[in-house]
Amino acid sequence: MAHDHIESSASANEALTPLPASRRVFGWHDHASLWFSLGVGLLVMQIGAYLVPAVGTRDAALAIVLGSLLGAGLLAWTARLGCETGLASAGLMHATYGSAFARLPVLLNIVQLVGWTTFELVIMREGTQAIGQQAFGPALGTVWGGVLTTLLWGAVLLALLAGSMVKLVRRFVSRFGLPLVVLSLLWLSWQFATQLHAKGLDAFWARPGNGSMGMFSALDLVIAMPVSWLPLVADYARHGKRSAGGGLGSAFSGTWIGYALANIWCYALGVMVVSVAEPGTSLVTALLLAQGGLVALGLILIDELDNAYGDVYSGSVSTHSLLPRWSVKRWGLLLAVLCIGLALVLPMHTLEPFLLLLSSVFVPLYGVILGRLGSGNAVTAGGARTIDWGAALIWLAGIAAYHALAKWAPQFGSALPTLAATFVLAWISRPAAAAGGSALAQSRG
């Protein structure tokens, strides 16, 4: 009996098994709504505020549009791959790097997702405290106020994780969450555009940068946010329909359009806010000072919950791929409890550089995955190889190249050159079997 239980547990590894057609329900609107919602966040606006005055307004606008289109395009390409194979992100890593070596990037992904979920809880706590202090007085600004708001958001996160991810996306995000977030962004954009107009749009548009950041570095900063979602996108895209009429296209175009719009909008809003706020004013305070900012910020904080949910759900899928005895739902609840505890004790703002450093490993990681699998020559996660040394060495060399460029040639950026180099090397070094018939094609039968 024990042996049968072990076998059934191993065979029930959802992350490494292609999702059956009966469970693929996401259409174009679901993909677009999900990735627009995940693309909206206070952290994105904050990073957008870093662009000025480092670069001029025109250069910032160019970096925002170009970087968002490129970064969201990478997300969309990976989404198409997840939809095509039916594999989760962990499954794509197994298919590319081999079942033994893939455990390393999967583990790193779990660590970064726990970190980002914790960071999202801290962002929601601080935003809620700021709203509470303005609405009800200083009581929520105390240490106990921070504990209370952390536990409150944590309880909501646990409640969401106890339900169905598919139902959450289709019933809440698409129908209710998306319209409310769009309205809040429209209101805030109108408020800060009005202030910019009063100060002089011509002067704002013509403002030069101070030279502390080059154009390629600005592009890196914009691309950083969509790249941080690369290890998650397949966990959701695998739920996309593959019916006649372009299920693959809906995953690709829905993800690209949804995320690019949100990324451009939030980065641009960050630039607008920092351009009209008094020096030294925090982003949250500046948003609260806008007319109607209290309600708009509250809606954005609710949407921030999607980001925390997205991180911890994907972390649970990856953890399940390593330890399939527990279900994805059970791992999600456990990881959420861990993140709530970490949010109460860790100095998260000092850990943010570490999280961004950890994210840098995923640029070359996905350069290799897209080079090996992205042209349609996909293989299943249950391949015979335990380690694909070629793919592993290209990834490790890519990490080294990323940091070497950041240190010795920052004017060229790190993300795009590393991504291009790892993609090309992975593509030209594809195994003969991958270059020919696809093992996935056989598994579809």
pLDDT at 441: 37
Encoded tokens for 338: 């861990």
Bridge partners (DSSP) listed for residue 240: 26
Q: What is the pLDDT of residues 11-65, one digit of tens each?
A: 479 899 999 988 899 999 999 999 999 999 888 898 888 888 889 999 999 999 9
Read off the pLDDT band of 248 (50, 70, 90).
low
- 3-state SS record for 353-385: HHHHHHHCCHHHHHHHHHHHHCCCCCCCCCCCC
More confident residue, 290 or 89: 89
Residue 379 has pLDDT above 60, yes or no: no
Question: Domains of the chain (ranges plus CATH)?
Answer: 27-444 (1.10.4160.10)
Read off the pLDDT band of 246 (50, 70, 90).
very low
Highest mean pLDDT pick, 110-119, 199-208, 369-378: 110-119
Residue 5 has pLDDT above 80, yes or no: no
pLDDT at 442: 34
How many CB atoms neighbour CB 50 within 10 A?
A: 17
Q: What is the pLDDT of residues 334-363, one digit of tens each?
A: 999 999 999 999 876 666 567 667 778 999
Q: What is the pLDDT of residues 78-134, one digit of tens each?
A: 999 999 999 999 999 999 999 999 999 999 999 999 998 998 999 899 889 888 887
Q: How many CA atoms lie within 13 A of 302 on its CB side?
A: 15
Residue 265 backbone phi and psi in degrees, to 5: -65, -50
More confident residue, 243 or 130: 130
Residues above pLDDT 90, as percent of the chain: 55
CA torsion sign for 426, 432, 438, 442 is negative
Residue 240 backbone phi and psi in degrees, to 5: -75, 145
Q: What is the pLDDT of residues 291-320, one digit of tens each?
A: 888 888 888 888 889 999 999 999 999 999
**Calpha distance 430→329 (Å, rounded):** 36
**Using alpha carbons only, what angle is made at residue 98 by residues 97 and 102, rounded to the nearest 5 degrees?**
65
CA distances from 101 to 94, 105, 276 (A): 8, 8, 50
